[in-house]
Structure 1
């Protein structure tokens, strides 16, 4: 639905400032669904901008409410219509935008970079210099190329100016605001488009998810990234800027930036995962896997395959999102299964198996045992609500809602597409479906490998 724009005078008549926010005990933020701004990971609210604003809300002594905006073309009108108090979408400060809203002081400066794919054999070429000649390393290389960017973004404006500077044509494909910059990055990684432009900080975060993208080509000076507010919210703006000045000097702010921008993704799956596991064992936890899995009539090798996927059998493993331990429990979930970061391996595995069996019970209506297990694994990874969304859409699109393979998994894979996650049948919104899709497939592939290599023994055998 298109939001009707409001006039400047009308925007100034909306009197929701700091006083009203405190009276309502709620700061409402309009945010995009992205890693740089705001997202939900296994039920936990996260995102670089979200964590900054959470600290600000705590400073004010109010609750923080996030409203996800799926079409960024509407976000300024939503703000000025009074639907929210602030904008958080990795917003670049521009003169054009400043005519309609006020910007806070910047919390970051970031240049714009071209996102492109590395050559298919980049891993085989040992040195970066060996494949760099196959990607664009100079803005001149963009001449004659098709670049997809959000039409109302500073990226679009920069490309227009760049082609004027170059005196030649860059084919700029203007994308509507319901396709987010992170989705365009994913499309580059998947080979659906060849190039996009985004802020360097956004590209850096997403390079952890998509190691096959190159983000080294810089095409702008460093620009200011800030939050947006209504022109009439003068007291809120003053208070935020005063708070931000002090907050940016703290270790908390440094850690938030480090957490999202600097922590590298974990090493990819080893090619020969059995090579260090001699003596006919999958891991040093085999005895626990066998004992605990037997209590639930579960195949211990399947449990082992899941634990390897989650933590590579490392008890101290902690993800950048905060998940911990062998079973990678999120902090808000682990305690309900008796699992804490310092719990013993046995407690961690027992808690994980208990949750896994609960998820298995959620799918009692699936009669095929293999399909039921796959629904269970998908639920462990993405949460029940997202998989139920995929089920409902599967029925709508003529697929079998009780079959994961080539049916519900295909819908889950597409839950990053606005056509799917904005459907009225969907209750839990956007899902990075490729993660869940690959999660189930990789665990089952590993399970099949374990089946052929290790006996289905019982405890003490």
Structure 2
């Protein structure tokens, strides 16, 4: 028997409302920070604009912290929202208020910070250096600082100075939130201030472009860099961060990023760096149009220029005892093969060098990706592709993956030792030379990337802080989702 019940329309309306409320109430709300991040679909991260953290590249943002954060977001299977800020105290305050999920800004782990924040496993070691301008009087310790010292406010540097003041009561300094670490180094150069304190990784990158920055002495031993999270009873995100760093250490992701962003740095050579900067100012400009033309759409003109400096210091009439000549130092046979009629003509030499490098790239297996592909091609050109393959075979036999420069640069020098080259097909090679050759070109290339745009124009080195959502196409949706979440909380 079928029964049909009729309800008044007003009662039916109330029933629908009750059902909607019941459905809403039954929807599972995030129980912890990690679930909240996954529910909103992105993680909020504070960082700062700097060469060691995040900066604007040729087409998009890049940088060590930027890449590491992206790896973590992929690990969580969410997107990223990055907020840039130079005020360290504000970063930490906003983190403690729950306005961000973590800080990835090259923060030093200090006793004072550990009291307020929770830190991830360390991913890099640095030390702090007192910096002055080359040619000025070098202080040997804090007692010889006569004033004019400025550091970032609320930084580990200011904390170190306060501790040192116990031993040097006459030590004085000023602190600022107005300027970034890079700007303080610029102020040392233009003599607006006499000294500042810089982290060793920041300073090493800066000195490639500004060799006049000199180290007076170290003000700290080795210090750890790590991400910062809020210190609370919610361990969900912190536990995931620890998992991520354990995996990134195991699979080599962190080592790969360190190699990518710092692998070109060698022991600082003041004379060599200064000569390079002078050559940029005096000789490079005349050849930039030729490098751009030779690079076409598949190469970076700054990379070709770095090769040119390594080969000839951008001297069109350069000659070596072995018979190579010209700006790109082509052999007579290579020039003939490439259709170059005059090796001393800089334009022809640059075009020939670019075409020859393209031939080198073709010999590298497709599975090897940029930028390692470039380093392999350079090494093969320098030492011979047979020896390069020998080094790769040695690495593979040793249980290593032979498709990254990070690995192969450790095996090439072994080709000088009978213990190793006796196992190879092509035998002995001066394997340390291609490592040095690639390292020099990487160093020159990194400097040219800092100074020049792809169109050949000069860059403005200082960039204004910006707020960035990495997935810009999702920005309106992210904002809408966030507003809806806040509305639900209010209700």
* 1:153 equivalenced with 2:155 (yes/no): yes
Output one character per residue of 1:65-106: Cα deviation in whole Å (capped at 9) or x when no partner. 211114323111211233211102211122332333211122
Give the 3 Å change call, closer, same or farther, for CA 311–141 of structure 1 in structure 2: farther
Distance 2:92 2:149 in 1: 25
* Cα offset, 1:231, TM superposition: 2.2
Output one character per residue of 1:116-164: Cα deviation in whole Å (capped at 9) or x when no partner. 11128xxxxxxxxxxxxx523x324543232101221111121122232
Distance 1:283 1:34 in 2: 27
Give the 3 Å change call, closer, same or farther, for CA 49–378 of structure 1 in structure 2: closer
Structure 2 unmatched runs, 5+: 1-29, 267-272, 311-352, 355-369, 375-451, 469-491
Q: Identify which of 28, 53, 65 aligns with 1:37.
A: 53
Distance 1:247 1:274 in 2: 43
Give the SS at the match of 1:171. Answer: coil
* Cα offset, 1:31, TM superposition: 0.6
Aligned to 1:67: 83
Output one character per residue of 1:377-406: Cα deviation in whole Å (capped at 9) or x when no partner. 989468xxxxxxxxxxxxxxxxxxxxxxxx
Supply the RMSD in Å over aligned alpha carbons.
4.2
Flag the structure with larger Rg: 2
Aligned to 1:268: 277
Residue correspondence of structure 1 range 308-387 to structure 2 within 5 A: 311-312=304-305, 380=455
More helix by percentage? 2
Residue correspondence of structure 1 range 30-429 to structure 2 within 5 A: 30-119=46-135, 134-136=137-139, 138-140=140-142, 142-165=144-167, 167-176=168-177, 178-215=178-215, 217-232=217-232, 233-264=234-265, 267-268=276-277, 270=279, 311-312=304-305, 380=455, 416=463, 421=464
Distance 1:48 1:258 in 2: 10
Counterpart contact for 1:29–1:65, Cα < 8 Å: yes
* 1:21 equivalenced with 2:37 (yes/no): yes
Give the 3 Å change call, closer, same or farther, for CA 118–285 of structure 1 in structure 2: closer
* Cα offset, 1:186, TM superposition: 2.2
Give the SS at the match of 2:254. Answer: helix
TM-score relative to the length of structure 2 = 0.51
Counterpart contact for 2:58–2:454, Cα < 8 Å: no
* Cα offset, 1:199, TM superposition: 1.8
